[in-house]
Amino acid sequence: MTTERNHPESAPWILKGFWRAAWTAVRGTQEDYTSGSLTRAMILLAIPMMLELLMESTFTLVDTYFVGKLGAAAVAITGLSGALIVVVFAIAIGLSMGATAMVSRRIGEGDPEGAGLAAGQSVLAGVLISIPVSLGGALLAPSLLALMGGSPAVIAGWAYPAVLFGGSVTIFLLFLNNAIFRGAGDAVIAMRALALANLLNCILDPCLIFGWGPFPKWGLMGAAVATTIGRGTGVAYQFVMLFRGELRLRVRRAHFAVNAPVMKRLLRISLTGIIQYSVATASWIGVARIVALFGSVALAGYTIATRLILASILVSWGLSQAAATLVGQCLGARKPDRAERAVWLAGFYNIAFLSSVSIVFWVLAKLLIGFFTTDRAVALIGSEALRFFSLGQVFAAYGMVFTSAFNGAGDTDTPTYINFICYWVFELPVAYALAHIAGWGPTGVYVAVAGSSVIWAGIGFLWFRRGAWKTRTV
């Protein structure tokens, strides 16, 4: 009988088995992650998730690259719009937490029917919630840009956020379906969905922005249309896979009918998750609003830097999500000690990855920012922001893993409290005080953002060591 001790997680095993496991991860495999080597389980889950979220971040990087050709005002529009649309992401990710926690727990318990029911209820909730979000965001886009402190030139670009909000159902479903796949341990399906969506976005972006070939020249709005079409195509692929019945869970039409007990449990977990991410994203909006007071050039530089940081953080978030899946499945299989060891292992790998990325960002800051803009003033501000942010993300490595562990266990309350302390009690007040009262300008904002990552990791560590998450029921 195979046991965890039969798979020594030593350096020789890692060197010999990494590429084989990595190739298996990309091809896709169905394994029992509640037993066997944790290192292998981490590789099989993390690599598809990291690639998936890398491709999610590519959406914004591709938009930033092509939109950068339209000038600083256009980049500023995408920056403020990103700070607004992140509210949609907060709700979608909050719902995804509930989906991942419930699906992974049912899979760990050996209940694929229960996992399918949880998946169906998650999708139903996402569709219903997306309707008012889409309508409200699309209709109020100009007012929202004005509220964020956008200049008249920025407000004139309201069509960009209006299209993104209007198609927000694709954001909800893309996140929710992928959370279902990840919770079931079928992370490669989520990766393929994002690959398809991203490919279409990369092709359509320049075509619809600049009017290449037979396509209309829609300018900035074209970037939003391309992104929405790409995401919608990815969602269509996801549904095909959900209904084919070849995964660990099987989703049937009956699972989309309202099931009050399951929906109640899902919303209970997800509501706190939504609040958790709303606290974080409201802080992001607040930080963007503080930077916007220094003008479009400062906002453009800040926007480019944050999107580069977001790209690296989303990749490392994929590694964190592997920990969330392992925690959920191992708790379902009544193996809390294995769940805890998975978290420490994920944290080790995550800090190794983000430390390496931070060094690259620090050394090549000017070159990387300059790739997205030819404006020297924007590049100067952006490179300074990138260096400060890269320092903070070293600490964020463990903060992300602890947060994912809590969420994977169904404990969405704890990260909510942590986010409130880090972002509302510390980050926003300190950012404003340093930027405007102390007179540090945008630099004060960057210092506050980096400092909040340190606090995030420290508090997460203390709460994780308490171990209350191991007894959470889902």
How many CB atoms sit inside 10 A of residue 73's CB? Answer: 19
Which range among 177-191, 280-294, 313-327, 427-441 has the greatest average pLDDT? 427-441
Q: Region 293-305: what's the mean pLDDT?
A: 86
CA distance 122 to 120: 5
Q: What is the 3-state secondary structure (H, E, C) of 167-204?
A: CHHHHHHHHHHHHHHHHHCCHHHHHHHHHHHHHHHHHH
How are the residues of the chain apportioned to helix, strand and coil, as percentages rounded to the nearest 5? Answer: 85, 0, 15
Name the residue among 227, 375, 224, 392 with its Cα closest to residue 306.
392
Task: Tell me the whole-structure pTM to 2 decimals.
Answer: 0.76
Strands (E), 269-371: none
Residues 345, 42: Cα–Cα separation, whole Å:
8
pLDDT at 265 over 70: yes
H or E stretch covering 472? none
The CA dihedral of 47, 48, 54, 60, to the nearest 10 degrees, is -170
Q: What is the mean pLDDT of residues 139-154?
A: 85
Amino acid at 277: Y
Tell me, what's the pLDDT at 1?
38
Q: How far is CA 98 from CA 83, 410, 448, in A?
A: 24, 7, 31
Residue for token pair 């003008």: 295
Say whether pLDDT at 346 is over 50: yes
Place of tokens 């607040």: 286
Instruction: Check if the beta carbon of residue 190 is closer than 8 Å to that of residue 181.
Output: yes
Nearest Cα residue to 272 out of 400, 420, 173: 420
Report the percentage of the chain scoring pLDDT > 70: 93
Please state which of the ranges 18-27, 60-69, 217-226 shows the lowest mean pLDDT: 18-27
**Confidence class of residue 204 from pLDDT cuts 50, 70 and 90?**
very high
Measured CA to CA, the distance from residue 271 to residue 256 in angstroms comes to: 20
- Residue by residue, DSSP assigns 8-63 as ---HHHHHHHHHHHHHHHHH-----TTSS-HHHHHHHHHHHHHHHHHHHHHHHHHH
Of 24-28, 36-40, 276-280, which range is least confident? Answer: 24-28
Q: Which among 190, 193, 199 is positioned nearest to 59, based on CA atoms?
A: 199
Distance CA 229, CA 352 (A): 36
| Range of weakest confidence among 7-16, 126-135, 375-384 | 7-16
Please give the pLDDT value at position 19: 63
Q: How far apart are CA 326 and CA 348, in angstroms?
A: 15
Is it the case that residue 73 has pLDDT exceeding 90?
Answer: no
pLDDT of amino acid 394: 86
- How many CA atoms are closer than 13 Å to the CA of 370, on its beta-carbon side? 6
Q: Is the model's pLDDT at 63 over the cut of 60?
A: yes
* Per-residue model confidence (pLDDT) at position 22: 62
For tokens 């953080």, name the residue: 313
- How high is the mean pLDDT of the chain? 86
When pLDDT is cut at 50, 70 and 90, the band that residue 119 belongs to is: very high
Residue 55 pLDDT > 90: no
Tell me how far apart the alpha carbons of residues 52 and 122 are, in angstroms, rounded to a whole number.
20
pLDDT of residue 212: 92
Evaluate whether 174 touches 231 at the Cβ level (below 8 Å): yes
Of the pLDDT bands very low, low, confident and very high (cuts 50, 70, 90), residue 9 is very low
User: Does the structure show a pLDDT above 90 at 310?
Assistant: no
Mean pLDDT over 314-323 rounds to 81
Give the burial string for 331-348 (b: 16+ CB within 10 Å, else e): bbbebbebbbbbbebbbe
Tell me how many helices (H) and strands (E) the chain has.
18, 0
Q: 72-108 vs 376-408: helix axis angle to the nearest 10?
A: 10
Give the pLDDT mean for 458-464: 94
- Of the given ranges (44-48, 381-385, 444-448), which has the lowest mean pLDDT? 44-48
Q: What is the mean pLDDT of residues 380-403?
A: 91
pLDDT at 25: 62
Residue 124: pLDDT over 90: yes
Q: DSSP letters along 110-137, please?
A: T-HHHHHHHHHHHHHHHHHHHHHHHHHH
Band (250; pLDDT cuts 50, 70, 90): confident
How far apart (Å, rounded) are the C-alpha atoms in residues 181 and 216? 36
Which pLDDT tens digit goes with each residue over 395-437? 998 999 999 999 989 898 999 999 999 999 999 999 999 998 9
Please state the rounded mean pLDDT for residues 380-401.
91
